[in-house]
Structure formats: C-alpha cells, structure tokens
Copies of this chain bind each other. A is one copy, B any other.
Amino acid sequence: MSENVGRWLRDEIEDAILSYEFAPGERLDETVLANRFGVSRTPVREALMQLDAIGLIEIRPRRGAVVIDPGPHRIYEMFEVMAELEGLAGSLAARRLDNTSREAITATHSRCEQSAGAGDSDAYYYDNEEFHKAIYAASRSDFLEEQCVQLHRRLRPYRRLQLRVRNRLSTSFSEHCAIVDAIFAGNGDEARRLLRTHVGIQGERFSDLVASMASR
C-alpha cells in the first residue's frame, strides 16, 4: 500500500479501469467505492479528482463520476500521438545513446526475443513494455519519458488486444530489431520513422482493433 490511502486508491481504481473491471461508461459511486475499499469517502474523492485530471474518468458536477469510454476513433488518435512521441524518443535516443542505455535496450530486446520465440504473448506483453520504456529513458529527456510512460499506460489494454492478433508477435519483434539497429547506428531519422510505423495503427491493424474491441 502506498504512502497514503488517497494515492493507493488512485492506483487501485486506475488499475481496475485499465483492466476493464470498471467498464467504460460505468458510474463510480463514491460511497460504494469507500465501502469496497474500507475507507471513508474523502480519500475516494481525492483519488477520483486525480483520475479526472489524468483523463481516465469524467466528473460531472453534482452528477458523479463515470469511466470515460474512448471509442475506436479516439483510441486511434491516442496511438497516433503515441507514435509521434515514441518517434521523437527514438530519434533522441539514437543521437544521445550512452553505454547504460545501450545495455538496457539490449537486455530488454533479448528478453523480447525469448518470449517472442516461445510464442508466449503474455510474457512478450511485459517484455515489450520494458523495451519501449528503455527507449524512452534512452532519449535522456525526462519530460518526454514521463509523457510516454503515461500515455503508454493508458493504451496498455488496447496494446494487449493487439498482441492477440495472429502473427503480430513475430512481426513486432522483427520491427524491434530494425529499431535497435537504427538507434545503435545513430540513425535518428530512421529510428523515428520505424518507431512511428511500429507504434501507429494503420490499415488493417485498425480494423483488427475495432473487431477485438467489439468482441468484448
């Protein structure tokens, strides 16, 4: 449990939303949440305020909080921005790479190789996350890293859906290889381009996303 109940609740509710335990559009009753977590309404409200500021829920004055339902179109927009930010991170990483970052990228990359080779999509899901975070860190831009991590977190559930798609695992990993090559070669423009297409969801991948969302 975090330092104080408010933050703990924020993380707890955030996780519940990102894992669809609290479905999009669902109403979040303060009293119910307070009882469920065995605390008073005060920290619950504080947690909700923060989630509202982050953009995960919407608090309509006097009318309670509801989980935001980002339709396929908005999710596409979020991936579009994510692609842009990751592209920037990649290009900076290529320019500024040092030994520490290089090793972190290599380590996470080879872990991806293992889980992709084993066809373990759950393991790959985590390793992939670490790989991308290694690139954010390698950008040496704290602000960019924070923005990337936050957006990455919000997109987590949809990323997971994507990995279920047939052949996506090996495709993803081979894209990683090219990205690593570009970064290690110091080719910022290439790293940017590759990351943009790796992260963005164009063409049939968007239809896949819509389909997998609809099937839930």
Binding site for B on A (CB under 8 A): 3-4, 6-7, 42, 45-46, 49-55, 61-62, 74, 77-78, 80-81, 84-85, 87-88, 141-144, 146-147
Contacts and interface: CB of A to CB of B under 8 A. Distances in A.
A25 to B, nearest CB: 18
A46 B142 CA distance: 27
21 contacts: A3-B62, A6-B49, A45-B46, A46-B46, A46-B49, A49-B50, A49-B53, A50-B52, A53-B53, A53-B54, A74-B143, A77-B142, A77-B143, A80-B141, A81-B141, A81-B143, A81-B144, A84-B85, A84-B87, A84-B88, A85-B85
A99 to B, nearest CB: 22
A142 B81 CA distance: 11
A80 B49 contact: no
The number of times this chain is found in the oligomer is 2
A49 to B, nearest CB: 5
Given A80-B141, A88-B84, A143-B77, A4 B61 contact: yes
Contacts of A53: 49-51, 53-54
Given A53-B54, A61-B4, A144 B77 contact: yes
A5 B78 CA distance: 31
A138 to B, nearest CB: 14
A78 B46 contact: no
A34 to B, nearest CB: 15
A70 B51 CA distance: 23
A160 to B, nearest CB: 20
A141 B77 contact: yes
Contacts of A85: 81, 84-85
Nearest to A140: B77
B49 A147 contact: no
